[in-house]
Structure 1
Amino acid sequence: MDNRSEVREFLTTRRARLTPRHVGLPAGTDRRVPGLRRSEVAILADLSIEYYTRLERGNLAGASDQVLDALARALRLDDAERSHLFDLARAAGNAPSPRPRRRSSRAWTVRPGLQMALDAVTTGPAFVRNGRMDILAANRLGYAFYADVFATAERPGNLARFAFLDLERSQRFYPDWEPAADVCVAILRTEAGRDPHDRGLHDLIGELSTRSAEFRTRWAAHNVRHHGTGSKDFHHDVVGALTLSYEGMELTAEPGLSFLIYTAEPGSESEERLRLLASWAAAQDLPGHPALPPERGGVSGAGARRDH
């Protein structure tokens, strides 16, 4: 990716969302730009207008941590945005990322111990994904939960392709599709900042940009996000509506991979529906293994649907 372009668009979009009122400056008159002027950001960051203009034009190389911190404060960046700014600066200076990147000529395979950890989670979907949103491994309930993602022969199943290129199923699966799509793109944008040399990520972004106007619009917003905990609503074709909490953990032994678990409130209808989904998965003999056969991955066949 073009680092200068990424920096320029990120800083421009962050500046455009702020107004003088947000930062305690007088609004004045004759404002011809959305949001703050460059001169106003420079004042807030205690930088010269010439230096800030240079930064916003995409030249972050050589910017100190103190300058980046001042810029983050001036633009009211949250933790994810601040980290993204530092990632962009590291890429501009060709400095190595603080998170080691996995580089291997071999296809990734799940370690037996990691698969056993996934399989030990029996009351909720558990899975491992990378920053490109590929589902690399899961427990049995995880494969059942994401049955629609695995309904095609493409492996690994990818949550971004599902969200934007399989709209009929994804908009049914995510009742609140718009915010779910926003989060999906923000995760990809964050990963692009962390690892700008990831060829697979470049290819995925190019594919989604070409094939989905919904993706293009969100990608142009340059929003980023740390996705570690929260709650989501889903609609599964087999068991119906689910409200689940999720927790995500970075895998120390596998830099760049996340271990995520969905759980339901004890005693809730969602908990009961997860039990029904587990029973369905056992009847379908879905394995907790990344080599899930395509014909077993989708919600299909006799008895696949239930009304709830």
Structure 2
Amino acid sequence: MDSANDIREFLTSRRARLTPEQAGLPNFGGRRRVPGLRREEVALLAGMSVEYYVRFERGNAKGISEVVLEGVSRALQLDDAERSHLYDLVRAANEGIHPQRRRGSTKTQDIRPGLQQLIDSMHDVPVFVQNGRLDILATNQLGHAVFSELYVQPRRPANFGRFLFLDPRADVFYRDWDDAAYQTVALLRSEAGRSSHDRILSDLIGELSTRSDRFRTLWASHDVREHRTGVKLLTHPIVGDLDLAFEAMNLSSDRGLQLIAYSATPGSTTADALKLLASWAATDNTESRTTAPTDASPS
């Protein structure tokens, strides 16, 4: 992953989506050669010289201060996820200038027995633990049952990106595939900014870009997001439609990992379906629920 190029494309894409009217600038009409704001307009809004902003947008992040980053974030009306992503890109670019400052590449993670014990005790709630690459590293029995389609293919760890873009089952499993695809790519793009030297992540992005036109198109949009809360609309092959609310929690004792817990409205058809699925899972001889990442060596 090329941090300087990512800075250029990210800032260009954010600039292109804003009109002068949206930015609070007068529009004197006439033909604009580029969509959205001009560079000089961003510089004006950010309180910096045009030359300095142009240098930054071209990917030169050397000496960029927090004041400048805040000014650019404000000018481009970046949300929290986009602002964090810009900071990550600048950090990664400066690590490239100073290789001794680079963070180590993200290694494959082992799940602590205590963490597995915790999620196993949550019998009525589908739960799994994932890393920033969207690998499922551990799950409880009900979580494994809900996302059983991801485990049909033998490759481990099961990965949401590979499933969505490379497995035809995903088009049926996700009732709103387009939204799931957008969210998944945005999460991977955010992780790429945080972990620009992660070889396993880079290989995953390369694989998906090569094998999926849909992934490649979404990746080029440079959209990012944070994984916090939302609703998953699924169609399970055994119990049918599921409307599952989720909460994503960062694990402070396991850096880079998130615990994702799902729930259904009490008395709803989804709640009844989860009970049926839990009964099925309890009697089904499924594979081991904790998945070791055997397809990739630690970087």
Q: TM-score, normalised by structure 2?
A: 0.92
What displacement does 1:285 show? 3.2
Q: Indicate conservation of the 8 Å contact 1:3/1:92, yes or no.
A: yes
Letter in 1 for 2:196: P
Q: Indicate conservation of the 8 Å contact 2:69/2:87, yes or no.
A: yes
Alpha-carbon distance between aligned partners in 2 of 1:110 and 1:275, rounded to the nearest angstrom = 27
Letter in 1 for 2:267: G
Where does residue 17 of structure 1 map in the other structure? 17
Letter in 2 for 1:139: N
Where does residue 235 of structure 1 map in the other structure? 235
Where does residue 212 of structure 1 map in the other structure? 212
Q: Indicate conservation of the 8 Å contact 1:124/1:262, yes or no.
A: yes
Where does residue 83 of structure 1 map in the other structure? 84
Question: In the TM superposition, what whole-angstrom CA distance separates every residue of 1:210-235 from its partner, at most 9, and x where no partner exists?
Answer: 00000000000000000111112111
What displacement does 1:291 show? 4.3
Q: Indicate conservation of the 8 Å contact 1:136/1:290, yes or no.
A: yes
Matches within 5 A, 1:255-270: 255-270=255-270
Alpha-carbon distance between aligned partners in 2 of 1:44 and 1:25, rounded to the nearest angstrom = 9
Q: Indicate conservation of the 8 Å contact 2:134/2:159, yes or no.
A: yes
Equivalent position SS for 1:20? coil
Unaligned runs of 5+ in 1: 293-308
Alpha-carbon distance between aligned partners in 1 of 2:282 and 2:271, rounded to the nearest angstrom = 17
What displacement does 1:27 show? 1.9
Alpha-carbon distance between aligned partners in 1 of 2:222 and 2:105, rounded to the nearest angstrom = 25
What displacement does 1:26 show? 1.6
What displacement does 1:124 show? 2.0
Unaligned runs of 5+ in 2: 293-299
Letter in 1 for 2:204: L
Percent identity of paired positions between Structure 1 and Structure 2 = 53
Q: TM-score, normalised by structure 1?
A: 0.90
What displacement does 1:254 show? 1.1
Equivalent position SS for 1:124? coil
Where does residue 150 of structure 2 map in the other structure? 149
Question: In the TM superposition, what whole-angstrom CA distance separates every residue of 1:102-147 from its partner, at most 9, and x where no partner exists?
Answer: 755xx53321100011112111210000111100000001111111
Where does residue 226 of structure 1 map in the other structure? 226
Where does residue 181 of structure 1 map in the other structure? 181
Letter in 1 for 2:145: A
1:48/1:82 CA distance change after superposition, 3 Å: same
Alpha-carbon distance between aligned partners in 2 of 1:262 and 1:287, rounded to the nearest angstrom = 21
Where does residue 60 of structure 1 map in the other structure? 61
Alpha-carbon distance between aligned partners in 2 of 1:209 and 1:103, rounded to the nearest angstrom = 21
Alpha-carbon distance between aligned partners in 2 of 1:193 and 1:78, rounded to the nearest angstrom = 15
Tell me, yes or no, if structure 1 residue 137 matches structure 2 residue 138. Answer: yes
Question: In the TM superposition, what whole-angstrom CA distance separates every residue of 1:132-187 from its partner, at most 9, and x where no partner exists?
Answer: 11000000011111111010110100110000001x21011111000110000000
Matches within 5 A, 1:1-308: 1-28=1-28, 29-94=30-95, 108-166=109-167, 168-286=168-286, 289-291=289-291
Alpha-carbon distance between aligned partners in 2 of 1:132 and 1:61, rounded to the nearest angstrom = 28
Alpha-carbon distance between aligned partners in 2 of 1:270 and 1:230, rounded to the nearest angstrom = 16
Q: Indicate conservation of the 8 Å contact 1:139/1:288, yes or no.
A: no
